[in-house]
Amino acid sequence: MLKKEFTQYPHHTDPYAKHRITDEELDFLYELQKEMNTQHSDMLTYPRIWVIQEPIKNYLDNVETDLRNDPDAVEYLNQIADGADLCIDCINITTPQQLYQTIQSIIKDNSLEEKYQVELINNYKVLIHGKNDIGKTMLWEGSLEKIQKNGLLAIVEWVMGYTYHHAELRYYTKELYQRPGIFFLTYKDGVRYLQKYADKYDKDVKLIETSPMDLFTDCSPEIKKLFDILHTVDFSKKNRKVYISGKITKTEDYQERFDVAARELLAQGYEVVNPAYEGTKLENASYEDYMKLSFQLLNDCDIIYMLKGWETSPGANQEFGYALAKAMEIRFEK
């Protein structure tokens, strides 16, 4: 067999503008990691994703629906079928309200107002009875999921026996089906999705955890590496470096001011670069030497923190301009 050739598509220029990671993005990653690592699990699988599993209906073919005189058939279908859909004029009736409106329409369209009336009780049960013959009362339970001698079959009997409309029961079994193309990194996110789109899914839908190891190990090591990063990288703020910038020249309290800011930033979880301290390591250095060191330190940081009064410092203004040109996050002392 000839080896299949795959077309090599050329790369194009990266169109995305870049920025240094922000606190909000780090918080998102930290909370995501916490949820992924601490959520309940029924399987010892890794990597773990959550997928939607719901039962789908497989309708039984060639099943007689007129079972009024055959209770044994009703019992048999109760054993092999998971449920039955009520169909009137080829339309599935799925809610008590829909059945109530349908029966109302049939009674009106067939000029049967003098013989029958329909009631909706507590938005759950539909009651059809003859005005002159209470003995013909029929009760329908709202779930529509089980065959009932005095429920669904009674509706079929009434529609077929007393109107010109067609009614039948469509029996079905349920099989579990995994929704393709939808997965979640956390169970909580899957629950939010199903709550938002509850009307699109069967009431017995659920989330199951799975680990498509074949995909991750054989086809996409990049995906497994991404999961490793999400699970193990420290996303706390201490990974972000903050450079303190402020007026030093011709001030006597700059060491104290820089130290106070450094302690506050350290308490918030940041790695702090204090040029007032780093500058003490230089001996016989010129102003240009200090500024060269400052830019070296600043280039390795994520955030620049401008102390009050920085506007009157030529050096701090240069650092501010450098940070601006590098699209760094800029903060100001309040």
Q: What is the pLDDT of residues 188-225, one digit of tens each?
A: 999 999 999 988 888 889 998 888 776 566 667 788 88
Residue 138 has, within 13 A of its CA and on its CB side, a CA count of 21
Strand-pairing partners, residue 50, are 184, 209
Q: Among 2.160.20.10, 3.20.20.70, 3.40.50.450, 3.40.50.300, what is the CATH number of 237-332?
A: 3.40.50.450
Report how far residue 169's alpha carbon sits from residue 153's, in angstroms, rounded to the nearest whole number. Answer: 8
Q: What is the pLDDT of residues 90-119, one digit of tens each?
A: 888 878 888 889 989 999 988 888 888 888
Residue 11 DSSP label = P
- CATH 3.40.50.450 in the chain, residues? 237-332
Please calculate the CA angle 140-134-104 and round it to the nearest 5 degrees: 50
3-state SS of the chain: helix, strand, coil percent to 5? 40, 25, 35
47 preceded by cis ω (within 30°)?
yes
Report how far residue 159's alpha carbon sits from residue 104's, in angstroms, rounded to the nearest whole number. Answer: 12
Strands (E), the chain: 49-59, 83-88, 91-93, 116-121, 125-130, 133-140, 167-184, 206-210, 241-245, 271-273, 303-306, 329-332
pTM for the whole thing? 0.56
**Does 148 score more than 60 pLDDT?**
no
pLDDT of residue 215: 59
Query: Hey, what amino acid is at 326?
Result: K
Q: What is the pLDDT of residues 295-327, one digit of tens each?
A: 999 999 989 999 999 999 999 999 999 999 988
